[in-house]
Amino acid sequence: MGLLERGIATEVCVVFALEKLEGDAFLQAAKHPGDLLTALLELPATYWQEHHDQWTATAVLLGEALSGVQSRAVSEHAGEFEDPEDADPWLPRFLGDDFMGAVLHFREIFRVD
């Protein structure tokens, strides 16, 4: 993970990270669950613009990760709602600030207004 954060051998590290994260998007590489995915999401826009196929793979992985968190959050808090269909927990409550900041950074890279 440190190599990604320092921009060392990024192309090799991204391929390796994507393979590792395929089975568990919130894999803990160093500090906390999801830190490897966070490091990927925080890569500079210039990297992703030159490696659009990897950006797409990371976007798919991110979507799956967020869906998984949402499903767990709904099941854990379903009892808090009269109608389980109304269960729609606010995801930032379940994810760290660093992860949410990385998601916003990653989301803006190819945004077209």
**Residues whose CB falls within 8 Å of the CB of residue 68, separated by 6 or more in sequence, listed in order:** 25
Q: Is 21 among the domain residues? A: yes
Q: Which DSSP category does 82 fall into?
A: S
Tally of domains within the chain: 1
pLDDT average per 10 residues of sequence, the chain (113 residues): 76 94 88 88 90 92 84 69 59 71 78 55
Residues 34, 72: Cα–Cα separation, whole Å? 15
Q: Is the separation of the CB atoms in 17 and 4 below 8 Å?
A: yes
- In 3D space, the residue among 15, 98, 26 whose CA is nearest the CA of residue 66 turns out to be 26
**Three-state SS at 76:** helix
Q: Is 90 among the domain residues? A: yes
pLDDT of residue 78: 61
Query: What is the pTM assigned to this prediction?
Result: 0.75
pLDDT of residue 43: 92
Q: Is 113 among the domain residues? A: no
pLDDT of residue 29: 86
Range of the domain at 99: 2-108
